[in-house]
Amino acid sequence: MDTINIEEIAFKIIANSGEARAKISDAMDAIEEGQFELAVQLLEQAEENLLEAHNVHMQIVQKEACGERINPTLLLIHAMDIMLITEAERDLVKRILRMYKNKRIRFSEKV
Residues designated catalytic: 78
Q: CA 58, CA 46: separation in Å to the nearest integer?
A: 18
Q: CA 89, CA 109: separation in Å to the nearest integer?
A: 22
For 107, residues 6+ apart whose C-beta sits below 8 A from its C-beta are 34, 100
* Residue 91, SS3 per DSSP: helix
Q: With beta carbons less than 8 A apart as the criterion, state whether 93 and 28 touch.
A: yes
